[in-house]
Structure 1
Amino acid sequence: MSAQRYKCIVQYDGTNYVGYQVQPNGNSVQAEIEKALKKMCKGEYIPIQASGRTDSGVHALGQVIHFDYPVAIKADHLMRAMNSLLPADIMITEIEQTTEDFHCRYHAVGKKYIYRVDLNRFPDPFKRQYTLHHPFRFSMENLQKAIKHLEGEHDFTSFCSTKTDKTDLVRTVYEASVIKDEAANELVFTFRGNGFLYNMIRIFVGTLLQIADGLKPVGEIERLLAAKDRRKAGPTAAPEGLYLAKVYYDEEKLKRGE
């Protein structure tokens, strides 16, 4: 039987990794998945591709990868084998055979991220690696007014790390929203768009929290979009609260949020 390409959805807790991508300074999610595949293939290296990178400490609910396995095998059997070899903080949740021309990065049309903020007075030891702790008084009304100004097509220079290698900083955000989860006492931000720049979501959150706290005016987002200057925006929020929630391959579903 000939080699077969597989598309996988992966969940991971990014706490113990230097990020998704292989790095010289520590262990990565990619390295662990490739290690599992190498064991399954009796020492043969199977490179994997991902929809994109996540930084150290960032988590994923719906990262997408693909790879070419030397022989065709039932998807469910492949998933069971991989999960039996992966560490407990990485899990393949879906797997399917796909065409040899499918590419999880180049064919992606958009992504959805969520960001969680713990509002409790003192840091919850069980949330410290999965949320940003923010125990300050804030205005939910101002926060909800400000966040909507991020929707639409904009040049997001003010919300992109100066370390980016991108030259085109225009992106379209289809959804920028926030709710308060009363049961968990958390803010849950959702951002859905056709692409996100380096640290873009974390700078969004850092700036929006300053607006909510009264440190910046409600109209600050509009001013920052026009300024195109990273130095004028808020801080880059911690990586622990960020989750890659979904990767889209259908533009209409991306726009509708399905």
Structure 2
Amino acid sequence: MRPSEDPGGPPEARGAAEAIAAEVRGVAPGEVPGRLCRLAVRPLPVADAGASLRGAGVPVPPCAGGDRASYLAEIQATLGDGPCVSAAEAGAVVLARDLTSGADAGRWPVFAQQATAVGVRAVYALPLGSGAVCLGTLDLYRDTPGGLTGPQLRTARLVAGVMTRALMELPHGGDAWLDELAGGHDEVYRAVGMIMAQLGVGADEALARLRADAFARGRSAYTVARDVLAHRRRFDPDR
């Protein structure tokens, strides 16, 4: 089932969809993602949940979730790597069942190190979108290794589907929450353009340099982008 499909099928699936919809009925649009992230934690074996948006390969600041979820979303945006980045790029569910060892730890070694350092042992990332369009991911974080059962995965997909619809129905103007996301996205784009001019490189290389600089300094890509725009940080060709 794609993230935005109508959750038909078994009565329990329809019932879960109705329960999820009831949780956000009447809620202000800007509060919907946060409400859904908190809702996702209840029926699933996860400790934290968040939502990360993406646009044309450029990260957007995380729009929902607790401190740990936001931190790990920023780490992945800065690295350009991690389960949530992989899910967004593929438009498919990514289940990292054990970040402490084995294939998952080896697939995203730097992210796995950062995640386990803050107590996260498993990550489940579900794309938000439909067809070839992926708005971002619903990110679920677990304190112990393990996977999701079939019913648990269906519940997670339902939450992702409702969140997708909520995001697509948000007004495209006058909403502070959406304006803040667009602003963060634009800052990274403009900073990449400045780095391209400073180094004489293409967009992909400029974004990679911004991400590497941010990670080396223990900062997020967004804060380094703001420093570039404010002329507090310059990228020189000989560095």
**TM class, shorter-length:** under 0.3
More helix by share: 2
User: TM-score by structure 1 length?
Assistant: 0.26
**Higher radius of gyration, 1 or 2:** 1
User: TM-score by structure 2 length?
Assistant: 0.28
More strand by share: 1
